[in-house]
Structures are given as C-alpha cells and as structure tokens.
Chain A
Amino acid sequence: MSMKLPSDGAGFPSGESALSGARSTEGIGARLPKSDGGVKADGSGLYADDLSFPRMLHAKFLRSPHAHARIRNVDVSKALAHPGVVATLVGSELPARYGVIPWTHDEQALATDKVRFIGDEVACVAALDERTAEEACRLIEVDYEVLPKVLTPEDALAHPEVKVNEKAKDGNITKHVHLEFGPVDEAIAKAASIARQTYRYAGSTHAPIEPHCAVARVDADGNLTLWSSTQIPHYVQREVSRVLGIPQSKLRVIQPLLGGAFGGKSDPFSLEFCACKLALKTGRPVKILFTREEVFYAHRGRHPMTMDVTVALDGDGRIAAVDDKILIDGGAYASFGMITAYYAGQLLTGPYRFGTYRFDSFRMYTNKPPCGPKRGHGSVQPRFAFEVALDEAGEKLGLDPMEVRRRNFIGEEVDTVNGQRITSNGFLKCLELVEQASGWKERRGKLGRGRGLGVAGSMYISGTAYPVYPNEMPQSGVLVKLDRSGRVTVYSGASDIGQGVNTLLCQIAAEELGCDARNVTVVAADTDLTPVDLGAYSSRVTFMNGQAAREACQKLAEKLRAAGGSTFAEACQKAEAAEGAPLAATGGYRTVKLGGNYRGGTIGASPAYSFTAHVAEVEVDEETGIWRVHRIWAAHDCGKALNPTLVEGQIEGSVYMGAAEAHMEEMVYDQRGLLFGPSLLDYRIPTTVDTPALDAYIVESNDKNGPYGAKEAGEGPLHPAIPAIANAIYDACGIRIRELPFYPQRVLKLLRERDARRDALAAQEKGQGRVA
C-alpha cells in the first residue's frame, strides 16, 4: 500500500479508488495530536469566560454564612439601589427543585426557605461589572434563624430530627443500600485468614483549572442560549428549561472549550439557572464566573467514607467473603449520591472472584458542600480499603501480594458475584507488566531501610447501562455530513472535557472513510446543532459516542465505496451525484439489557469493564514521617488504544490524581462547617515537581462490545494508585496506614506505635528468655 497523499483533502493513495483497502494513517491507533492542544497551549482557545457580548452584565452570588439556617426574609432593596446594579434575583423567582438524578430533585438555584451549608446560594445580583455586583451583594439583608446542624455522617444518623434536606424520606439518609450475595457469615466463619479493619477516606475535590462559568443571552425571538462550562449539556438543557418553565426547544446549551472537569461539572449548577433567568429578566446578556472559592462550595467532589471492611480468604488464598459496611458523607444535596451509595459496593467485584459478598452503604446528608462524582465515582474509596485488606489477608497466609491477586483473578466472559457481565479482561497482563517493569521479584525486600514496593489492582465501568432518566432513545448520537470539497463534518453531542473525544472522532472518521483526519471538523456539544449525548460521566463517552460515530461513518463509507473516485473529494462528489442529495448519515448507541436481576442490579452494570494494576515505589523518612513516591508503574487494559498518546495521558493524569489524594488533598471543615482555606494555596494539589515518575503501559484485550475493541481509560487508572502507595509504605516500614491523606504526622504516629510494639515484644522475649 502506498503512502497517503499529504494534502488536497484526500487520504487516498493516488490512483486507488476510494476505500479500496486504503487505510488512513490517522485512523484508529494513530498518535494523532489532540485537536484542541494547540489552542489550549497558545491561549487562543475560547473558554466560557472568554465570551463577551455588547451590554453584557456580570452577576455575583450572595452566599450563606451559616451551615444551617432558616431564611425569614431577604431584602434586596439596598442592593437594587446601588449604582450600577441592573437586577437582583431571589429564591422565590426560581423555586422549582432540581437535581441531576430525577429521583432526587432536592436543590434550588437560590435558597427559598433554608440554607444548608456555608456557601449555599441565597441571592444573585447583576451589575455592570463584577465588583459592583459583589459590593451590592453585601448590601442585601437576610434575616436568618440559625438551626442546629450536623457535620458528620455519624451525627446525621444519630440526629434524624436535625433535618438537613427535606427530600430525605428517612432522617438524613439520601440512600441506603444493603445487598448480599451468598452466605457471607458462613464463609467468614470457615475462613483461613481474615483481615478486618476500619478505613477512612477523606473528601477531596476536582480542582479543574477553569472555574465554572455561564453566559446566557436572549435573541430577538425569545430563544435563550446558554454557554456553560459543563460536561452534561443535555441534562443542563432539561433542568434549566424545567426550572425556568421554558420549552426545551427554546433553550440552546453550548459547551465551549473546557478547562478540566473530572466530574465537577456534571451537575446543573446555580449559575446556569441564574444567568438564564437574569438574561430573561433584563433582556441583556449575563455572565457569571465562579471565583476559585465558589468552585470549592459548588464542589461535588469525592465523598468522605468510613469503611468497615472484612476480607476473608480460604486456605488456598481464595477470596471466600468480602463484607463492607460503608458510611458516606454526602453534604447538603444529593447530586449523584443515590448512585454513589450503589457504586461504593457494586464496582468492587472484579478483577477478583468473590466467593460471597455483602455491602451495606448509607449516603448521608450533612451541612457541608455537596459531594458528587469525582473521577472514579464512588469506587476509589472502597477500592483503597479492599486492596490494603487483601494484602493483609494474603500476608497472613504467606502469600506474595502479586500472587494473592493472580490467584483470585476472575477471568474473561464471566459473571461477577453481583451479576455483572465481564467480557474482556486483561488484568493478568497488567499485573505481569508492572511486576516486570518494577523489578518486583528481584528488588522487593532488597531496597534498603524505608523503601518499599506495593501493588494494587482495580476494575471500572465503560459507561452505564441506562440514562439517568429512563427512555428508549439512544444514549449517544452522531451525525456525519460529507461536503463535495472533501470536508467531513461530525456533529456530536459528546462533551470533550480534555479526554480527547473530539480528536477520536476525527480518527474514527479517518479510519472509516479513509479521509485525512485534519479534514474533519467536529461540531460538538451544542444542543441546537448536535444530536444528544448524555454527557461526559461514568467513562461512557468514547465507548458510546465512538460506536455512534463509527456507525454513521460506515453508512457513508459504503456509499463512497460504491461511487468510486481517485481522490476523497471526487468520491464525495460522485456519491452525492448518485444520491441526488447531500450526503449525511446518523449513528446511535444504546446499551443492551445488562445487570443482575435484583433491585439495583443494573447500577454498576456496564457493557465492558476496564482493568488496571499499579506498582508504587515509595521512600519513608522514619524520623519525620515524610514520604515520597519515586515511581508508579501503571498498566491499564483499555481494550484497544484508539489513540495511545491520549490513553497514556489519561493513565498518567489518573495516577497523578490518585497519588495526590494519598498525599495531601483533603476538604477540611471547622466546627462551624466552614471549609478550611478554599483556595489552591491552602487546598494543595501537587505541582509538577511533586509528581513522581509515571510509567504508563497499555494493555489491549479487544473487547467485543467496544468501538474497535476499546474500553474506558479516563477513570479506572486512578483507583490502584492509593492502595499501591499504602501497600508500598507497609513494605517500606511495616505500618498499615488506613486513613487518607497519608499525612506525615499520621505516618510518624504509626511508626512510633510500631516501635513501641517492637520494644514491648523485645522486652517480653527478653523476659521469657530469662525465665527459660
């Protein structure tokens, strides 16, 4: 096969007819640079905050200084009278409740009767500039009646009479899930080795570099356009139209270039409702840009969890039982919390076979900023606890951490204990790669004092089986149009939040049509122009949107093939002539029925699961407790790397984020419920110089359900980082750290306890020796 032509819009080898075996070198598997990489690097990309319109107003929020209070009255008259103020907004103007999950509509754009955390939005002011709006907010008079508050899930359980959120049917419980698969207690009673401990996972937040921003504008026909830094344009369109009482068809939601999301932009947020309402109210464009502090209050980050975990192994080191009791601190609103309560248990049942399994999870409302989905939603915390417990239980049987994982491998084309169907599974290969790369066999135990290796594995979903609102329509849709110039335009509803789906769409078009990937325009995430995609969550985008794009392109490829032509453009022209109409095709993706046959059995059911293994090498300074990660080797089974560079980037970014949570990230609150230091100075995320060496390895298991065999790569690779580090710390110095973050003071305390134990043991032996 000859080389692809460099230009002229044609990926066709000269002299060959269209698609007669020609394959673009920019198709599947190519290391194509990210399509938005250049504009992000040179600053020319337009984020929501870069948008500006004539007569545009800027709006700011007044927020609650109380963790829990009844609102007796809100008086905006002084704010309205402030020079430069154009309009104000209070809760009674937007009273409808909303939420990303239709069963838990428990939020309001602005509080009407009650505030539920410090930072909850109370009123909004639109003015000629941000400063004026901010000043005017301080002139609003709110009469609060301060209420008793609950700040921990334990307190929330103990004090059902302190009702945080009226949506809760029972006390402060957002959701309680209890599921049991097989006789767990029986299996534990017969076990050869049991590891039973309590683990605590601190809450952390996403910290995307771009703060949330929304710009709303009404046109002459009364149509409303909302530009928002969201990862769920479709759900935002649904919720905003419902709350504002305007038809969905009159509201257009556009997601501009996005500066990071990680799950922190997958809820509808107050600023979207308020920008739209204020635009309608004033007839002028309105922009709301969160400060960094406000991003912390919007939160939706990782749920703090307390986990009582039992892992029981039989005499052969096989997992006989896993019992997990999980208390989840949810914050003031549900967000995806109903799902979190399920994910915390449902996603643990691979890559190992569980003999029996039980989990019991409570997701509680508390008077703090709401938690939600952060990269690895719901499953990062239990995975940490489980992988440490597995090491511990294995050690009691004298099993090497690699061996205990290998021995429990669940296999391919198999059902998990909770009824999920695993198709492809490259976990063993992942394990083998990191074992070799890290020199596990040769180096472990020989690294010297304070240095050690740890391993962990994990599993994650490639999208979920159902949309959040039940319907039979496709979960993802794509429309592809061919121009007679040879230009291909892909209209896709999917949100590129940095994972690179827009680049992959170019590659899929190049692969199927044989065109040059650089001649593909992607029009994305615009509810007027693009078919619906449900949003960038649950690692579903490339998997589902990729299938939809592939289907649409294949329909067109057939027509091009039939038409013939020596260049791509010529093929398009011939095909269009034959068609007698412009060339376009659509594709859609819908999951088949999946999941266990029990209540909640579909939650966590995915058409394909990804698998990951990490080895971490750490060094612990035993005099100070300060530790650092030297290197993490991470192997991830993504099914098929549609673009290996992007997959490696996702692996590296995930490992970084996991290591960051192990190291330093925590949402800390004081006794008032006030978030400690809501800034990137006080809430520290690691910088490049804090980041360990990361080695990413791709494993391809070619899943039958994924596009070209692909599975997810954006969230799974985060999970093992934390337990791998914890297990490496144990290998380095013999302490089991069970609480995140692994602050040096915690490590030092455990080291001293270890020394005290050793001293006591030595004294005891000495004493016994004397008697003998």
Chain B
Amino acid sequence: MMTLPSVEVLRPRTVAEAVEALAAHQGARVLAGGTDIVPNLKYGMYETQHLVALRGLSSELRYLREEQGELRIGALCTIDELAENSLLREKLPALAEACAGIAGPQLRRMGTLGGNLCLDTRCVYINQSHFWRSALGFCLKKDGTVCHVVAGGKRCVAAASNDSAPVLLSYDASVKLVSPRGERVVKLRDFYLADGVHNTVVERDELLVEVRIPRGTSSLKQAFYKLRTRAAIDFPALNLAVAIRVSSGRAESIALSVSALAARPAIIKGLDDLIGKPADARLAEELGRRAHKQCKPLTNIGTDPEWRRDILPVLVRRTTLRALGLS
C-alpha cells in the first residue's frame, strides 16, 4: 500500500502548547482529523518533519455555543456532528447540508470543521503519487516548474474544494486564530488567499480555533448545492451557497459564493443593484447570469470545465429558488 514518510507526531494538551509546538518546529503541520493531510503526506506533497496532533485539544475546541449573539463553533467539531446537529439543521440548513455532503460517513466522523476550512487546495495534477507526478514532469506546486492547468501559469490554481467554506462565506462568518503572539479574528472573506503559495492567511505558528457565525444568520433564506459525479466520497465539481435576507418580499442582502474553481472560493460581486428587487424567479435568473460571467472553471478538476460553466446559471437559479422556497 502507499506508505507514509516518517514524521514526528507532537501531542499538545492545550491550544497554548499546540501553537508553541508549531512555533518551535519549522515546517510543522497540523493534524486534526487527518482526512486531508494523511493522503497528501502519502502523495509526498509536503516535506514536513513534524505533525502537531490536536486530539488532546478536543475538550477545549469541540463546542457549539451562543455568545454575544453569535454562534461559535469549536474548530475540532467533527463534520458528522455538525451534519447531524438538530439545531444546525433547523437554523442553518445550508451549513448542515454542506457538512452532510462531505466525503462519506467514516471520513465525516474523523474530519473537523477547522480542518475543512483549512483543507489544502486540490488539483488533478498534484494530488497524485510521487511516481505519477514524476511521469507527468511534476508541477510548480511541488518539485516542478510548470503549471499543467494554465499554460504558462506562474501561480498554483489548485481548487478550493472545501464544502463548508462557501456556505460560511455566504453567512459572512469569521474565524478566530491563535498564536503564541496572541489572537485575532478574521472575516472569512479575508481569510483565503490566491497568491499561488499560501491558500489562507494562517501564519505558520497560528491555529484556527473557532468559527463565528453572525447574529441573524438563521433568518437568511439559504441553500447549498454541490455538483459532483457521484453522490458520496466525491470532492465538488462546483459548490454554490446562496444566502438572501428577504423583507416584505424584497431582497435586503444577497450573498452568493461559488467554489471548486481556483485557489479560493469566489464571492460573486456587484450584486448591490439587485438589493431591493423582489426575491423571485427573476432574481434567481439574474444571479445565474452574474455567476456565469464571473466564474471560470478550470481543468484543475477532472470534470469538463466547459460543461461546468455551461450549467452554472441553471444551478445558481435552482439553488436560489430553493433558498427562497420557490422551487
């Protein structure tokens, strides 16, 4: 079978110990549920010598509570407990649905929300064995110099493939990061990077410890849709999250997020002129058009990019209608 490189596993008992461990070991990586990093280590994607295992932090980082009107979710909550949480399913159905669609039951039981938000970007040319990548001639993300997705590309465009991110973006959620230097709260819309090297603003000694969902999110009209070839154990070919605040039949706020395109989830821009418009089928149609203009699927994912772009307006329209309870 595929083998793991030998790494030292550090087992901190507190958040403070964990971030100290990250600070102390150059190149150390975080091991939460392991569902992303373990296969990536087997693929030889990282040169890591140290893993900081977070299992000892479960009592500290596995919670769901309301504070100052916000819903706060500990980063070590597992995907399955979020997917099956009755409160979440009732109040934040898009998030619960996104979680329920991640991988399969065994992986949901291991994977964590923090891990999903920090999921490494994925590309058909990088998430492969060392041998396969050697036959390819490697790529600029690791061991090589060229990009096989964008001819002449200089930045990695591996796709953001986490299912929870688009929903949390549509909620305008924030995350709390802790380091030995202190803590900070970052809006998720400022969290993801696409500089070709880093995918998030998380510093090497920082740990994502909490997700904060703003007050009033549960009254948003919301829906999530994941396009994929098979109904389980599949990364997204496209992810859509829609959240609309409706008042007296009109859209008061509109958030539409699309992922599985490039390195970070896209937030569809320029929707201000739609504020105040009736929350109806025409709005759904219009959102589809706007998304179609702004989203350019790539060959970083195996599913035909032209087709994905082609059907995007249909998927956005349907997801919006579902959010509005009109489908």
Interface residues of A (CB under 8 A from B): 63, 65-66, 118, 130-131, 134, 138, 211, 289, 291-293, 623-625, 664, 668, 672, 674, 676-679, 681-682, 684, 686-690, 743-745, 748
Question: B3, A134: Cβ atoms under 8 Å?
Answer: yes
Q: Are A664 and B229 in contact (CB under 8 A)?
A: yes
User: Would you give the shortest CB distance from B72 to chain A, in whole angstroms?
Assistant: 32
**CA A66 to CA B232, docked complex, whole Å:** 34
Q: Which of B21-29, B85-93, B179-187, B303-311 contacts A (4 or more CB under 8 A)?
A: B303-311
Determine the distance from Cα of A679 to Cα of B39 in the docked complex, in whole angstroms: 11
Contacts of B5 in A (CB 8 A): 131
Output the nearest chain A residue to B304 by Cβ-Cβ distance: A745
Q: Report yes or no: B310 in contact with A748, Cβ–Cβ below 8 A.
A: yes
- Residue B104 lies at the interface, judged by CB distance under 8 Å to chain A: yes
Residues on A with beta carbons closer than 8 Å to the beta carbon of B131? 63, 65, 293
Asked if B134 lies at the interface with its beta carbon under 8 angstroms from chain A, I say yes
State whether the Cβ of B218 lies closer than 8 Å to any Cβ in chain A.
Answer: no
A580 to B213, CA, bound (A): 86
* A293 lies within 8 A of B310 (CB): no
Nearest-neighbour CB distance to chain A for B135, whole angstroms, equals: 4
Q: How distant is A552 from chain B, measured CB to nearest CB, in Å?
A: 40
Instruction: Report the separation of the CA atoms of residues A676 and B5 in the bound assembly, to the nearest whole angstrom.
Output: 24
A118 to B1 Cα, complex, angstroms: 19
Beyond A130-B3, A292-B2, A743-B304, 8 additional pairs, beta carbon < 8 A: A63-B131, A293-B2, A664-B229, A674-B132, A674-B135, A676-B302, A677-B128, A687-B232
Query: How many Å from the CB of A58 to the closest CB on chain B?
Result: 10
Given A624-B314, A677-B128, A745-B306, A690 contacting B231 (CB threshold 8 A)? yes
Mark contacts of B194-221 with chain A using CB atoms, 8 A cut-off: 1 yes-contact digit, 0 otherwise: 0000000000000000000000000000
The answer for the CA separation of A688 and B104 in the assembled complex, in Å, is 11
* A687 touches which of B4, B231, B306 (Cβ 8 Å): B231
Does A687 lie within 8 Å of B233, measured CB to CB? yes
Interface majority SS (helix, strand, loop, mixed), chain A: loop
Question: What are 8 residue pairs bridging A and B, where the CB atoms are less than 8 Å apart in the complex?
Answer: A211-B1, A664-B230, A674-B135, A678-B132, A679-B128, A681-B235, A687-B233, A745-B304
Contact present for A681 and B229 (CB under 8 Å)? no
Residues of A within 8 A of B2 (CB): 291-293
- Closest Cβ of chain A to B125, distance in Å, is 10
Report chain A residues within 8 Å CB of B232.
Answer: 687-690
Instruction: Identify the closest chain B residue to A691 (Cβ).
Output: B231
Shortest Cβ-Cβ A-B pairs, 10 listed: A745-B307, A65-B135, A131-B3, A689-B231, A687-B232, A624-B311, A623-B314, A745-B304, A690-B230, A690-B231
- Given the complex of chains A and B, what is the CA–CA distance between A719 and B115 in angstroms? 43
* Interface flags, B278-307, vs A, CB<8A=1, else 0: 000000000000000000000000101011
- Give the CA-CA distance A77 to B52 in the complex, in Å: 37
- B4 — which chain A residues lie within 8 A by C-beta? 131
Q: Tell me the bound Cα distance from A293 to B132 in angstroms.
A: 9
Q: B302 contacts which chain A residues (CB < 8 A)?
A: 668, 676-677, 682
Interface residues of B (CB under 8 A from A): 1-6, 104, 124, 127-132, 134-136, 229-235, 302, 304, 306-307, 310-311, 314-315
A-chain residues with CB within 8 Å of residue B129 when the two chains form the complex: 291, 293
Q: Give Cα distance in the complex from A366 to B57, angstroms.
A: 54
B112 → A minimal CB distance (Å):
20
Query: In the complex, A689→B235 CA distance in Å?
Result: 15
- Write the chain A residue with the least CB distance to B301: A682
Whether the Cβ atoms of A676 and B136 lie closer than 8 Å is no
What's the least CB distance linking B34 to chain A, in Å?
16
CA gap between A318 and B234 in the complex, in Å: 46
Known: A291-B129, A624-B315. A672 touches B135 (CB 8 A): yes
A130 to B3, CA, bound (A): 7
Docked CA distance A676–B1 (Å):
19
Say yes or no: B124 contacts A682, CB within 8 Å.
yes
The residue on B at minimum CB distance from A752 is: B310
Chain B residues near A678 (CB-CB < 8 A)? 128, 132
When chains A and B are docked, how far (Å) is the Cα of A533 from the Cα of B182? 71
CB-based nearest A residue for B318? A623
Measured in the bound complex, the distance between the Cα atoms of B243 and A265 in whole Å is: 51
By a CB distance below 8 angstroms, the chain A residues around B307 are 625, 743-745, 748
Cα separation A289 to B2 with both chains bound (whole Å): 10
B163–chain A nearest beta-carbon distance, Å: 15
CA of A540 to CA of B248 in the docked complex: distance in angstroms?
A: 71
Q: A623, B311: Cβ atoms under 8 Å?
A: yes
Closest to B104 in A: A687
Report whether B230 and A686 are in contact in the complex, using a CB–CB cutoff of 8 Å. Answer: yes
Would you give the shortest CB distance from A513 to chain B, in whole angstroms? 43
Q: Which residue of B lies closest to A674 (CB)?
A: B135
B285: min CB distance to chain A, Å: 13
How far does the alpha carbon of A293 sit from the alpha carbon of B44 in the complex, in Å? 14
What's the Cα separation between A682 and B128 when bound, in Å? Answer: 10
Chain A residues with CB under 8 A of B135: 65-66, 118, 672, 674
Q: How far is the CB of B249 from chain A (nearest CB, A)?
A: 26
A744 to chain B, nearest CB (A): 7
Nearest CB to that of A64 among chain B residues? B135
Q: How far is B302's CA from A15's CA once the two chains are assembled, in angstroms?
A: 69
Q: How far is the CB of A69 from chain B (nearest CB, A)?
A: 11
Asked whether, in the complex, the Cβ of B230 is within 8 Å of the Cβ of A687, the reply is yes
Inter-chain contact A289/B315, CB cutoff 8 Å: no
| Alpha-carbon separation in the docked complex, A421 to B25 (Å) | 74
A769 to B131 Cα, complex, angstroms: 66
Most A CB within 10 A of own CB, among B3, B306, B315: B3
Q: Contact at A748–B311, with CB atoms within 8 Å?
A: yes
Q: Please, which residue of chain A has its CB at the minimum distance from the CB of B234?
A: A684
Chain B nearest CB from A751 CB (Å) reads 12
Q: Which residues of A contact B315 (CB under 8 A)?
A: 624
- Residue numbers in A under 8 Å from B306 (CB-CB): 745
Tell me whether B1 and A291 are in contact (CB under 8 A): yes
**Which residues does chain A contribute within 8 Å of B128, judged by CB atoms?**
677-679
Q: Give chain B residues whose Cβ lies under 8 Å from the Cβ of A289.
A: 1
B327 to chain A, nearest CB (A): 13
Most-contacted residue by chain A among B136, B229, B314 (CB, 10 A):
B229
A131:B6 contact, CB within 8 angstroms:
yes
Measured between C-beta atoms, what is the minimum distance from B300 to chain A in Å?
Answer: 12
CB-CB < 8 A to A291: which residues of B? Answer: 1-2, 129
CA distance A674 to B131 in the complex (A): 11
Min C-beta distance of B128 to chain A, whole Å: 7
Docked Cα-Cα span, A582 to B210, in Å, equals 75
A289 CA / B1 CA spacing, docked (Å): 6
* A-side contacts of B127, CB under 8 Å: 681
Smallest CB separation, B8 vs chain A (Å): 15
* Chain A positions within 8 Å of B3 at CB level: 130-131, 134
Residue of B nearest to A749 (CB): B307
In the complex formed, the residue of B with least CB distance to A133 is: B3
Residues on A with beta carbons closer than 8 Å to the beta carbon of B124: 676-677, 682
Interface contact A65-B134, CB-CB below 8 Å? yes
Nearest-neighbour CB distance to chain A for B179, whole angstroms, equals: 33
Assembled-state Cα–Cα distance A745/B5 (Å): 40
CA distance A668 to B136 in the complex (A): 14
Cα A743 to Cα B311 in complex, Å, equals 14
In the complex, the answer to whether B1 meets A130 with C-beta atoms within 8 Å is yes
Residue of A nearest to B39 (CB): A681
Report A687 CB to chain B, min CB distance, Å.
4
- Considering residues B132, B136, B234, which has the most beta carbons from chain A within 10 angstroms of its beta carbon? B132
* Cα separation A664 to B2 with both chains bound (whole Å): 25
B residues near A664, Cβ cutoff 8 Å: 229-230
Q: How far is the CA of A672 from the CA of B135 in the complex (A)?
A: 9
